[in-house]
Structure 1
């Protein structure tokens, strides 16, 4: 591992400009994103990010063989112009290793696709949108958009809104999305338009998140443990700790089995107390 790391930095340093003021964008990127201490190289970076960078290299060795001046550096410069910081670019590189080694014209085309999803450059969501459309053809993106419209009964405006808030829907399996959507409509009772405004709900696992939390909310409502209708979207997006503190712990005396039933439901089983008529 150490030998590979030394090779990485030797490659980077051997490409350095002779001018001390002209630091390559890639050099600054690696300095910000990778790196344990290498006394012989004269700089330090974080151990955790080196490991992640090496994972990216395992997926795409072209990171070390691609032309720095004609390919990688122009891509880094362009991504910066899109509002991404060095750490953002490093994360993108880890998730989509070919992003930096692709033809710069192709990277620009991907950025244009991301913008057409309704995610402007410079926004906090742009990196995610770029990841979502990376190396997807125009035809595949159009096909997925049509699928969302036809399967979820979303209008053009609703599809555009959903993708601007949750661009990774483009990467989710059609079958998985359909199962989650049908559960939200048939079991939770949500309207398609409501889901379009809160599309991140479709990111969550059906068995590990959607069903268990739905069952808990139904239980506390049907048993009169709350005097209002709890927001499912609000409950869904809470951390596990917050969900327990807000929806389960307050009822440990009235429903001492609730915590165990919830844990059981998270394993894919349906406790007797959660079998509603």
Structure 2
């Protein structure tokens, strides 16, 4: 660990970010110094701020994959129509998007394209969506949002906020607010979540 810690400091990584890596992902510091130094150089070259938490996250993501696995993930996104700039932008915003399986990536993108009417590249501006549970968050919430949009009660732009807010806020802002005028959203949400006994009145 000693040589790697010294290497990170020599690369200009602030001590508080080095400390964060030691406490949260110490196994990364057990990598071979030459490989970790190469990863740090690549991440810096991508334009990450060395003092940010996403810089540490990016190092961890790249360290967890072999070069061939990394290239394979890039190819998955390319096959979905993402440009090199879109892939890089998504990785800068949410480095963990590269940690998802090919199956999960394709499932989420397919859902938003074929069910929600998005362009594939729209997901590159919302990479956090790839981290959400498909069954427990994306499908239940989007099922409600589709009904609300069809009734002109919300706009497409509301989807990002709706998917990222807490369960309590989603219920308050998108279920309870509209359930009197569009009562079917309650049944849809309960059914998709498996919460048949959910008491929205409380």
TM (norm. structure 1) is: 0.61
- Note the C-alpha offset of 1:117: 4.4
User: Cα gap change, 1:259/1:230 in structure 2, threshold over 3 Å: closer, same or farther?
Assistant: farther
Alignment of 1:81-230 (within 5 A): 81-83=12-14, 84-93=17-26, 97=27, 99-150=28-79, 152-223=80-151, 226=153, 228-229=155-156
Q: Which has the higher contact order (CA 8 A, sep 6+)?
A: 2
Aligned-partner Cα distance in 2 for 1:132–1:268: 35
Aligned-partner Cα distance in 2 for 1:248–1:192: 28
- Residues 208 and 268 of structure 1 are in contact (CA less than 8 Å); yes or no, is this contact kept in structure 2? no
Aligned-partner Cα distance in 2 for 1:234–1:109: 37
Residues 48-84 of structure 1 show CA distances to partners (whole Å, capped at 9, x for unaligned) of xxxxxxxxxxxxxxxxxxxxxxxx2232344454231
User: Cα gap change, 1:227/1:155 in structure 2, threshold over 3 Å: closer, same or farther?
Assistant: closer
Matched position secondary structure for 2:24? helix
RMSD across aligned C-alpha pairs, in angstroms?
2.5
The equivalent of 1:6 in structure 2 is: none
TM (norm. structure 2) is: 0.82
- Note the C-alpha offset of 1:178: 0.2
Alignment of 1:24-43 (within 5 A): none
The equivalent of 1:244 in structure 2 is: 171
User: Cα gap change, 1:171/1:186 in structure 2, threshold over 3 Å: closer, same or farther?
Assistant: same
Q: Extract unaligned runs of 5+ from structure 2.
A: 197-202
Residues 91-129 of structure 1 show CA distances to partners (whole Å, capped at 9, x for unaligned) of 122xxx2x2222322221221233344434222311110
Larger Rg: 1
Matched position secondary structure for 2:30? coil
Q: Extract unaligned runs of 5+ from structure 1.
A: 1-71, 270-277
Give yes or no for the alignment of 1:263 onto 2:190. yes
Aligned-partner Cα distance in 1 for 2:45–2:25: 19
Aligned-partner Cα distance in 2 for 1:268–1:155: 40
**How many residues are matched?**
192
User: Cα gap change, 1:103/1:235 in structure 2, threshold over 3 Å: closer, same or farther?
Assistant: same
- Residues 207 and 268 of structure 1 are in contact (CA less than 8 Å); yes or no, is this contact kept in structure 2? no
